[in-house]
Amino acid sequence: MKNLTKEIVKKINDIKQPIKIMHVCGSHEHTIMYNGIRSMLPEEVQVVAGPGCPVCVVPAREIDECVALAEQGVTVTIFGDMLRVPGTEKSLADAKAEGADVRIVYGIGNAVDLANEIDNEVVFMSAGFETTAPTTASEMLNNPPENFSVLSGHRLVPPTLDFLVHDEVKLDALIEPGHVCTIIGTKPFEFLSEKYGIPQAVAGFNPLDILYSIYLILKQKKEDNPRIQNEYKRAVREEGNVKAIEAMEEVFEVTTKEWRGFPEIPNSIYELKPEFDDHNARKKFDMELPDTQNVPTGCICGPILRGMARPEDCKLFRGECNPLHPIGACMVSKEGTCNIAYRYSKMDD
């Protein structure tokens, strides 16, 4: 593996040129930081982290919705790394500490099982990208119990990249997320190369996957032949997972809402279709939410999620903001750029 790494790095150096590549996957950032990949690259080749952490991009308003439900006596079920994500005034951990029934589950199936076991209303917060949306769709199509509902927060990657490339960041290329592409395939990303003329590569999750994807991107740029190449062929097909896509199309409609650190991104959210209103928490319950959403003073989570800054640029990083006391959402989850940098940035100086 060491020799192969050297060979790929040599190929990268042979065709190096100034380029800014964004990836949008927390697992990719972990691989890059843990293995010191940025230090292997020529200085002309810059790899920045985008909004690849599904927990980090959940806006305060959606946390506020869950807190409001919990304070009404609803049993709120969440993934573990959602517990400390800050809302406007409090997190779900704060609500739980005050006596609310907030429970950690491994997936929506556990939440459905819980609803079958207790008399109380149960809401599952369905955070995640296209990777986790099929499991939500499957449960909705499987006649969940009457006391079960979903607060949908599934977010779509391709329209967000369109927003970033068009309006936000000067990007030259993209490394696409392997997990997302196992579900939706490579076709939904093709328009980015066609529209903006930028190279793309779908990458797996080991260091060689990342390095070889960077080489493919540089080769495309050198040959002036931008397109999307599938480095992760062992798991990703062009058409994706057809059954999963059909289930998502049956259950969800696409709408426009904000992401944390972003304004509203057009057509970037999955919401349940009207025929599932009986299991849509937003339709089923009245929720009083704070009028404003606070951004913690000094936190630059937004620019970090948009690839415009690194955690080391934040004055709170490693001091007031750390994994035991996260100020911003990017420090909460182990997929968050700040959390990863806190653990591994010394390896990548």
Report pLDDT digits (tens) over 127-170: 999 999 999 999 999 999 999 999 999 999 999 999 999 876 78
**For residue 296, what pLDDT band results from cuts at 50, 70 and 90?**
confident
Three-state DSSP class for 317? strand
Token representation of residue 230: 């599938």
Looking at residue 170, its pLDDT comes to: 84
Report the pLDDT averaged over residues 317-321: 95
pLDDT (mean) for 18-46: 97
Which pTM was predicted?
A: 0.93
Average pLDDT, stretch 306-312?
94
| CATH architecture type of domain 60-156+244-284 | 3-Layer(aba) Sandwich (3.40)
d(CA 63, CA 94): 11
Residue 40 φ/ψ, nearest 5 degrees: -85, -15
| Position 231 pLDDT exceeds 90 | yes
168: which DSSP letter? I
- pLDDT higher at 286 or 274: 274
- Residue 276: pLDDT above 60? yes
Q: Measured between alpha carbons, how far is 128 from 73 in angstroms, rounded to an integer?
A: 25
The whole-number pLDDT of residue 209 equals 98
| pLDDT at residue number 3 | 87
In the chain, % of residues over pLDDT 70: 97
Taking the C-alpha atoms of residue 128 and residue 51, their distance in angstroms, rounded to an integer, is 12
What CA–CA distance (Å, rounded) separates 339 from 46? 20
Strand partners, 123: 76, 149
Q: How confident is the model at residue 290 (pLDDT cuts 50, 70, 90)?
A: confident
pLDDT of the residue at 4: 92
Based on the number of CB atoms within 10 Å of its own CB, is 297 exposed (0-12), middle (13-18) or buried (19 or more)?
Answer: exposed
* Extended strands (E) in the chain: 19-23, 45-49, 75-78, 102-104, 122-128, 148-154, 173-177, 200-203, 228-230, 252-258, 264-272
Check residue 188 and report its DSSP letter.
G
Amino acid at 184: I
Domain chopping of the chain, boundaries: 2-54+166-230, 60-156+244-284, 301-344
pLDDT band at residue 289 under the 50/70/90 scheme: confident
CATH of the domain spanning 2-54+166-230: 3.40.50.11750
- Lowest-confidence segment of 83-97, 165-179, 280-294, 324-338 by average pLDDT: 280-294
User: Would you state the pLDDT for residue 294?
Assistant: 64
- The amino acid that residue 223 corresponds to is E
Confidence of residue 288 (pLDDT cuts 50, 70, 90): confident
Span 113-130, average pLDDT: 97
Residue where the block lists tokens 């493919």: 216
pLDDT digits (tens, 9 = 90+) for 56-111: 999 999 999 999 999 999 999 999 999 999 999 999 999 999 999 999 999 999 99
Domains 2-54+166-230 and 60-156+244-284 share a fold: yes
Helix axes 207-223, 26-34, angle to 10 degrees: 100
Q: Are the C-beta atoms of residues 183 and 177 closer than 8 Å to each other?
A: no
pLDDT at 347 over 50: no
Mean pLDDT of the chain: 94
Please tell me the predicted confidence (pLDDT) of residue 168.
61
Please give the pLDDT value at position 349: 42
What CA–CA distances, in Å, run from 76 to 103, 116, 232, 277, 311?
6, 14, 36, 18, 31
Task: Give the 3-state secondary structure of residue 142.
Answer: coil
**Residue 131: both structure tokens together:** 């990777």
